[in-house]
Amino acid sequence: MTWGWNARGALPADASGTGTTAGGGVGAMAEAKQTKAWPRYEAEYLKRALTSERYKYDTAGLDDQQKGVYLDRVVADYKAEADECLKAEFEQWLQGTHDVNEADELYENAEGKPVRRWVFRSPESTDDEGGYKVGQARAGWKHTPWGRASLAHLPGVREYLRDLKETAHDKDTQMQLLAEFGPQNVEQAWAYFKHWVKGRPLSDAVCLPNDREVAHRSDFRYQAPERMHAYDSEPNDRQPGVLAADHNARDAAVARPGSPPVTLTTPAEDRRLEDARALRLRMESIGLGGAPLPDAPAQQFRERAQSAEVADARADRDRATEAKTEEQEQRHNQLILTQ
C-alpha cells in the first residue's frame, strides 16, 4: 500500500491541463456524474448575476455602502441558482437548442479543462511519417459534431424530458384551477395570495439567454435524427506539423493556464490537408494493386451533410403543415360548438 496525500479539498484527476498535481477525484467518472455546478461555473454565474442588475440583484436607489450590505445578503443562494442554470443548459443541449449545438465548434485544451487525447489508431491520428499519436493531446476535436440534432433517441433522454414537461404542466394546472375557481379554504387562500396576488417570482436565477426553439428531432421513438448519421465523428488532426515522435508531442495541443492559445490549422487549411490525404490514400491503393477508393472522405461527408439538411428541411415542413392543419381543425370545431 502506497503512502497517500491527505488533502483538505478535492484534487484533479489529471494534471495535463492544470500544471499542478494529479491522482484526485475531480475529472473522474464518479465526480463527472454529480448533478451540481463546479466552483468556476458558480463564480462565473455570480459575476453575471451581480452585473445583470436583474431581479433581486437590482440595486437601483442604493448608495455604495448600502449596495455592499444588500448584495452581501441576497447572494446567499447563488450556488443553488447556478445549479438551476446548469440544469437548464443541459436540457437545452439535449434538445439541440443550446448555443454550443454547433457542428463545427472545437474543444480547446485550455484554461485547466480536461485534456482530450487520441484514443485509437486511425488515419486521423497518424502523422505524415506514419507515427501514431495515441495517448497524445488531440487538437481539432468537436464536442458536439451532430450540431442541432436532438439526443432524444438515447435511452432515458426522451423519458426525462417528457417527465419534466408533464410534471410542469400538472403543477401549473393546479395553480391555474386555483386562480379560475378561487380559494375554497384558508390554506388555499394563502396559496392564492402568495402565488397570484403577490406574484411570488418562481426564480431569481440569471441564466444565459437562449432563443432557439426548433431542433432537428427523430421522427420515430429511438431512431436517431438524419443529421446524426451525417456528421464527421473523426475530425482531422489540426496540428499536422506536430509529429508523434516530437519531444513535446504529448501536450503540444494543451494551453496551460496563463499560456497563449495553441496554433491550429485554419478550416481552409484543414480542408486542403483532408483532400490531400484522401488523394494519397487513393494513389497508395492503386499502387498496391487494389481497387481505388470509391470516394474521398471529404466528398462523402459533404454528400451526407447535404442529404441530412434536405431531410431535416422536409421534416420541418411536414411538421409545420401538420400543426397548421390541426389548428384549422380546432378552429372549425370551435365554430361548430359556438353555433
Residue 229 has pLDDT above 60, yes or no: no
Q: Is residue 133 part of a domain?
A: yes
Q: Is residue 42 part of a domain?
A: yes
- For the chain, the first-to-last Cα distance in angstroms comes to 85
Q: Is residue 285 part of a domain?
A: no
Query: Between the CA of residue 203 and those of 55, 113, 326, 339, what are the distances in Å?
Result: 9, 30, 34, 44
Overall number of domains in the chain? 1
Tell me what the mean pLDDT of segment 290-300 comes to.
49
User: What is the per-residue pLDDT across 45-86, written as a single tens digit (0 to 9) for each?
Assistant: 999 999 988 999 998 899 989 988 999 888 999 999 999 999
The phi, psi pair for 29, rounded to 5°, reads -60, -45
Q: Is residue 38 part of a domain?
A: yes
Q: For the chain, what percent of residues have pLDDT higher than 70?
A: 84
Structure-model confidence comparison of residues 247 and 170, the more confident one: 170
Residue 276 has pLDDT above 50, yes or no: yes
Asked if residues 41 and 81 have their Cβ atoms less than 8 Å apart, the reply is no
Asked if residues 290 and 52 have their Cβ atoms less than 8 Å apart, the reply is no
Q: For the chain, what percent of residues have pLDDT higher than 90?
A: 33
Copy the grid coordinates of residue 257: 493556464
Tell me what the mean pLDDT of segment 179-185 comes to.
95
Q: Is residue 89 part of a domain?
A: yes
Specify the pTM: 0.75
Q: How much is the CA Rg of the chain, to the nearest whole Å?
A: 27
The DSSP string of 223-281 is: PPPGGGGTS-SSPPPS-TTS-TTSTTGGGTT-B-TTSPPPP---HHHHHHHHHHHHHHH
Structure-model confidence comparison of residues 117 and 332, the more confident one: 117
Copy the grid coordinates of residue 15: 494534471
pLDDT, position 197: 96
The phi, psi pair for 115, rounded to 5°, reads -95, 125
Q: Is residue 309 part of a domain?
A: no
> Residues 6 or more apart from 293 whose CB is under 8 A from it?
278, 281, 282, 285
Asked if residues 144 and 93 have their Cβ atoms less than 8 Å apart, the reply is yes
Q: Is residue 28 part of a domain?
A: no
Residue 278 has pLDDT above 80, yes or no: no
- For residue 305, the 8-state DSSP code is H
User: What is the per-residue pLDDT across 15-33, written as a single tens digit (0 to 9) for each?
Assistant: 888 888 888 889 999 999 9
Residue 175 has pLDDT above 50, yes or no: yes
Range of the domain at 80: 34-264
Mean pLDDT over each residue of the chain, to the nearest integer: 83
Cα(144)–Cα(299) distance, rounded to whole angstroms? Answer: 21
Q: Is residue 74 part of a domain?
A: yes
